[in-house]
Structure 1
Amino acid sequence: MSTPEQEITLLKGLAQNDRVAIETLYRENYNMVQAFILNNNGSVDDARDIFQETIMVLYEKANSNTFELNCKIKTYVYSVCRRLWLKKLQQLQRYSGQIDSIEEIVPVEEELEEHEKKNNDFILMDAAMSKIGEPCKSLLDAYYLQNKNMQAIAAEFGYTNSDNAKTQKYKCLMRLKKIFFAQYKNGQ
């Protein structure tokens, strides 16, 4: 977690085009922005564009004498990225809500905390997936990520029929849940 002094140093570094400050901002914030964009009808390219625009907004603010940051940089970046993305979706006619009233509906800090909790859960799930072993990892990947049907999975993994593949998928899923929740309870 950043202290207020570190955040002020980062903003000053950004204003002075300090490479270390800029790299730190990217490292600490890009994944959050990318996850938000991908979870809200966007692509990796959209995430890059929105993040660049967000950093430019932050850069301009850091260079102004009147800017005063009243929250963490991460919260500010998330708020700007969210506003820019919703504006872009509205322009593309993929979002019909009023952007001006968004902040009143869901405070950014609460949404950011929820996003960070989900992100931690994804990290735990990724760790559980790496521990589950083969063929379970590949089978669950084929079904949940590649959206393959049971007949295709049965053929690919050498099961006699789709029912056997379905049974194996269920066993793998139960094993994954056991590993995930063991990690979750231990807070690892």
Structure 2
Amino acid sequence: MINEAELYPESERHKLSIAMDKDQIMITGIINGDERILSNFYKENIRYVQGYILQNFGNAEDVEDIFQDALVVLYQKLKSEMVEMRVPVTTYFYGICKNLWKNRLRKKQRLVVDDKRVYFEEESNDIIIHNIENKEREHLYRKHFQKLSSENRKLLHLFFEGKSMKEISKITGYTVGYARKKKFLAKKQLLKMIEQDPLYEELKVVC
């Protein structure tokens, strides 16, 4: 059995315990409809949701709508125990908000008036959604790519440019075998950092 004391120093265990306790209090408050907890949850998270929606073709009214709709979804999932919370509840909530907003963009309608009738027509926002998702993934990638050593950044940059291992070997001065091993370890490190980022968890959330 893994001993938590071996993984975290005492100060880190204390912080982890506080975060877990705060999350549990928040979850219980949301399930029970505690007005104080819900009010604090709103104050602590509305600016993040607002920033995301306003940057992605929304307005202030959309922000309030999505926040409240996401809160209902979160409540239903927590109440029915449909979700095993492996991330902070706020991270999961942000993921719900983002998915609800992207779903709304997909279904957005416009009023059409012609000579014979008035009707609503669904606009195709697939390109917009695609661009938003690409922007999020690119931000996540760039953020952690910059954390790699300069050697690893150079190696991966050459690889992503389509250079062969033989070409990379000549440029870096490594043997082909060492360059291949170093590339593998650099990619592994990059993927690990990305997967541990809360934004990665948000992108995985499905409403």
Normalised to the residue count of structure 2, the TM-score between the two structures is 0.46
Residue 22 of structure 2: aligned partner: 6
Residue 85 of structure 1: aligned partner: 101
- Superposed counterparts of 1:64-103, under 5 Å: 64-92=80-108, 93=123, 95-97=125-127
CA 27–69 in structure 1, closer or farther in 2 if over 3 Å, else same? same
CA 71–37 in structure 1, closer or farther in 2 if over 3 Å, else same? same
Indicate the structure whose relative CO is greater, using CA pairs within 8 Å and at least 6 residues apart: 2
SS of alignment partner, residue 57 of structure 2: coil
SS of alignment partner, residue 33 of structure 2: coil
Could you tell me how far 1:75 is from its partner in structure 2? 1.3
SS of alignment partner, residue 42 of structure 1: coil
Is the Cα–Cα contact under 8 Å of residues 105 and 129 in structure 2 kept in the other structure? Answer: no
Residue 38 of structure 1: aligned partner: 54
CA 31–94 in structure 1, closer or farther in 2 if over 3 Å, else same? farther
CA 5–94 in structure 1, closer or farther in 2 if over 3 Å, else same? farther
CA 103–12 in structure 1, closer or farther in 2 if over 3 Å, else same? farther
Structure of larger gyration radius? 2
Letter in 2 for 1:33: V
In 2, the alpha carbon distance for the partners of 1:87 and 1:51 equals 14
* Cα-to-partner distance string for 1:123-167 (whole Å, 9 max, x where unaligned): xxxxxxxxxxxxxxxxxxxxxxxxxxxxxxxxxxxxxxxxxxxxx
CA 94–52 in structure 1, closer or farther in 2 if over 3 Å, else same? farther
- Superposed counterparts of 1:61-140, under 5 Å: 61-92=77-108, 93=123, 95-97=125-127, 106=136, 110=140
SS of alignment partner, residue 106 of structure 2: helix
Residue 36 of structure 2: aligned partner: 20
Letter in 2 for 1:40: N
Runs of 4+ more than 6 Å apart? 102-105
CA 39–98 in structure 1, closer or farther in 2 if over 3 Å, else same? closer
CA 104–61 in structure 1, closer or farther in 2 if over 3 Å, else same? farther
Letter in 1 for 2:125: Y
Could you tell me how far 1:105 is from its partner in structure 2? 8.7
Letter in 1 for 2:56: N
Could you tell me how far 1:65 is from its partner in structure 2? 3.0
Letter in 2 for 1:14: I
Could you tell me how far 1:74 is from its partner in structure 2? 2.0
Percentage of pairs with the same residue: 29
Q: Which runs of 5+ in 1 are unaligned?
A: 115-188
Superposition RMSD in Å = 3.3
CA 63–104 in structure 1, closer or farther in 2 if over 3 Å, else same? farther
Could you tell me how far 1:67 is from its partner in structure 2? 2.6
